[in-house]
């Protein structure tokens, strides 16, 4: 299992707001390594959504925002749209494993 924990699933109605958590430890997120977020639409490769804890690449709507505090991070999606239905992954680095780590992924369902 992943050293960084995400809820397996979240859901929300169109227009609502959802938050996906990413909980790590003192050897990864808590060691001040950056957290990045990816969106994976069904049948496609992951796409960068947030980098450096809070930054959106150009082209990513401002409905997507993220934060980090201590050993945890979170991704918030406001004004949910049907097209947001996807799997979301957080990514960081772990000093004990000396490698990149991903959260287990969270499936977002738009009701």
Partner 1 sequence: EIQLVESGGGLVKPGGSLRLSCTASGFTFSSYRMNWVRQAPGKGLEWVSSISTGSDYIYYADSVKGRFTISRDNTQNSLSLQMDSLRVEDTALYYCVRESTHTNYFDPWGQGILVTVYS
Residues that bind partner 1 (CB under 8 A): 2, 34, 36, 38, 45-48, 51-52, 57, 87, 89, 91, 93, 97-105
Smaller CB separation from partner 1, 63 or 107: 107
64 CB neighbour count, 10 Å cutoff: 17
Smaller CB separation from partner 1, 24 or 103: 103
Phi, psi at 53, each rounded to 5°: 75, -40
Q: Minimum Å distance from CB 76 to partner 1? A: 19
Q: Minimum Å distance from CB 13 to partner 1? A: 26
Q: Minimum Å distance from CB 45 to partner 1? A: 4
Determine the Cα angle at 21 with ends 17 and 23, to 5°. Answer: 170
Place of tokens 């980098």: 51
Smaller CB separation from partner 1, 8 or 13: 8
CB contact at 8 A, 64 and 55: no
- Measured between alpha carbons, how far is 88 from 111 in angstroms, rounded to an integer? 17
Rg (CA), the chain: 13
Q: Minimum Å distance from CB 16 to partner 1? A: 25
Smaller CB separation from partner 1, 25 or 48: 48
């Amino acid at each position: 299992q992943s050293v960084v924990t995400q809820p397996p699933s979240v859901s929300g109605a169109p227009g609502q707001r959802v938050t996906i958590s990413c909980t790590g430890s003192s050897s990864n997120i808590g060691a001040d390594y950056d957290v990045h977020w990816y969106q994976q639409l069904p049948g496609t490769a992951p796409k960068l959504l947030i980098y450096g804890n809070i930054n959106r690449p150009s082209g990513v709507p401002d409905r997507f925002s993220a934060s980090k505090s201590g050993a945890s991070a979170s991704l918030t999606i406001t004004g949910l749209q049907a097209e947001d239905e996807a799997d979301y992954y957080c990514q960081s680095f772990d000093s004990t494993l000396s490698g990149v780590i991903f959260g287990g992924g969270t499936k977002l369902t738009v009701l």
